[in-house]
Amino acid sequence: GAEYCHGEVDNRVYELVSPHGFLASFQPLAEGNKSVYVNSSGYVYDTELVQNLIDEAMGSAVYDKDSKLFNGSMAEFVTPRLDALLHSKNVDPRLSEALKHWIPVTSGVLSAADSLDVLGARGSSDYKDCEGDNNLKWKNGTRGYITLFDIISKKIPTPSEELPVVNKTVLGKHVTKVERKEGEVEVTCADGSTYLADHVIVTVSLGVLKKHAADMFHPALPADKTAAIETMGFGCVGKVFMLFPNRWWPEDINEFYPLFSQSEIEKLKATSAYGSWLVDVVDISGAMNHDRILCGWFGGQACRAMESLTEEQVTDGLLELLNIIVGDSYNITRPEAILRTTWASNPNTLGSYSYHTVASDNRNVSNSDLAESILEENSKPVLLFAGEATHPHYWATVHGALDTGRREANKLIDYFNL
């Protein structure tokens, strides 16, 4: 799943994990001189030039807080600003074309939106970055984010003090119905088992809510919450890790960025069986803990297309892309194995994370509407909602999801007057 810890200040994940020394910065492996920006002919653009343009475009020159006052899509907000920036810098037309494709697609990957045309400019401006290093990853041997659960349950650092969380967790239960009746909530699972509770905290993804909320909740959820579920966005980000028999790329290179002009994009779509999604691969980068692994990043339709193919087809496609951009420079070997994400097709997620849409902006719907609890008489919170999509500023992050879980737990603590 998630592999980054984004930032340090006001980041609950960082606060919990950093004392144990489990995180390391990926930044040294992502520095400009270790990146290659290359077109479909294998032409390598000047790294410093391109990196400076991207930094300026992705910074205040294009993505500034003025979007908070803009009623429209992020595409409408960004496109004229990006055009003006590239024109003012007298950027080569072919590179300019490529950046006009790559920057929006990359922004789509970062936001999980299929395109900037659906991403709401005003609502998106509410997102906040945590200050500090945004390129923190788990060190080798730490088992990734599952370690966070061990810290929360106190298994780390003292196993003998572990809280009884695991033996109270029921796995393999697909919830099909959540029914409120007489001040209680009955949860029904696909296998026919039922659970009766005074309070239920719902943490399923917004993708699952979009598909199943109408049939799952009885009585139906309030209109405001239903509108939030329907209009907020939930998209896909995908990754494919490729393990090669040998490291065929140089030690001083760690990232390959395909930068294709419009004519290159059309040619690849016309000549490759996989062109429709290969043109939206934004980055192929090395792994921090393994020198024979490269990871390809996908967003939107490219992510869903990748998930629909066989592993052999995905391997063929990525190998074709690598040969197109750097095949003349290196003797590229076929991966001996791949490991890919399947967030969009997994019925328990149906996507990766949430975003604000033009529709949600137009209806003044936000994450806070998703977070509203369902109350019974005496203000008893019977249905509570947590998860990244319910955080007002840190959606799409693990620390945001963690914050919302604590928020809902504290609501119950306050209700119990503990």
* Backbone phi, psi, residue 341, to 5°: -85, 155
Q: Are 110 and 54 in contact (CB under 8 A)?
A: no
Task: Quote the pLDDT of residue 31.
Answer: 65
The number of residues making up the chain comes to 418
Task: Quote the pLDDT of residue 339.
Answer: 97
At CB < 8 A and 24+ separation, what contacts does 167-174 make?
Answer: 174/348
Where helices occur in 146-261 by DSSP H, the ranges are: 146-152, 206-216, 223-231
Task: Quote the pLDDT of residue 62.
Answer: 64
Radius of gyration of the chain (CA): 23
Task: Quote the pLDDT of residue 378.
Answer: 84
d(CA 108, CA 116): 6
Maximum Cα–Cα distance across the chain: 72
The label of the residue with tokens 């008489």 reads 377
DSSP 8-state code for residue 162 = -
Structural domain boundaries in the chain: 170-234+349-416
Q: Which of 312, 307, 310 is nearest to 337 (CA)?
A: 312
Cβ within 8 Å of residue 406, ≥6 positions away: 12
3-state helix, strand, coil in the chain (%, to 5): 40, 20, 40
Residue 47, token pair as written in the block: 């790294």
Q: Which of 91, 23, 10, 36 is nearest to 254 (CA)?
A: 36
Task: Quote the pLDDT of residue 140.
Answer: 82
Q: Which amino acid is at 167?
A: N
242 forms beta bridges with 294, 338
pTM: 0.94
Task: Calculate the dihedral angle through the C-alpha atoms of 392, 15, 396, 31, rounding to the nearest 10 degrees.
Answer: 130
Task: Quote the pLDDT of residue 61.
Answer: 58
Q: Which helix (H) or strand (E) holds 408?
A: helix 398-416
Task: Quote the pLDDT of residue 60.
Answer: 67
Task: Quote the pLDDT of residue 142.
Answer: 85
Q: What is the mean pLDDT of each run of 10 residues along the chain (418 residues)?
A: 90 97 81 85 95 88 74 93 95 96 92 94 94 91 91 96 94 96 94 98 98 98 96 96 97 94 95 93 90 93 94 98 97 98 96 97 96 93 98 97 98 90
Buried b (16+ CB within 10 A) or exposed e, 343-374: bbeeeebbbbbbbbbbbbbebebbbebbbbbb
Cβ within 8 Å of residue 255, ≥6 positions away: 29, 30, 34, 35, 36, 283, 284, 285, 286
Q: Angle, nearest 10°, between helix axes 47-58 and 93-111?
A: 50
Task: Quote the pLDDT of residue 288.
Answer: 80
Pairing of strands 217-218, 175-181: parallel
| 175-181, strands of its sheet edge to edge | 194-197, 184-189, 175-181, 217-218
Task: Quote the pLDDT of residue 94.
Answer: 95
Taking the CA atoms of 4, 9, 13 and 19 in sequence, report the sign of the dihedral they define.
Answer: positive
Where helices occur in 41-92 by DSSP H, the ranges are: 47-58, 74-88
Omega of the bond leading into 157 within 30 degrees of 0 (cis): yes
Residue 98, token pair as written in the block: 């490529």
Task: Quote the pLDDT of residue 338.
Answer: 98
* Backbone phi, psi, residue 339, to 5°: -135, 125
Residue 132, token pair as written in the block: 């500090």
Task: Quote the pLDDT of residue 254.
Answer: 92
d(CA 179, CA 187): 6
Q: Are 243 and 338 in contact (CB under 8 A)?
A: yes
* Backbone phi, psi, residue 238, to 5°: -130, 155
Task: Quote the pLDDT of residue 132.
Answer: 96
Q: Are 207 and 348 in contact (CB under 8 A)?
A: no
Task: Quote the pLDDT of residue 221.
Answer: 97
> For the domain with range 170-234+349-416, which CATH number is right: 3.50.50.60, 1.10.760.10, 3.40.50.300, 3.40.309.10?
3.50.50.60
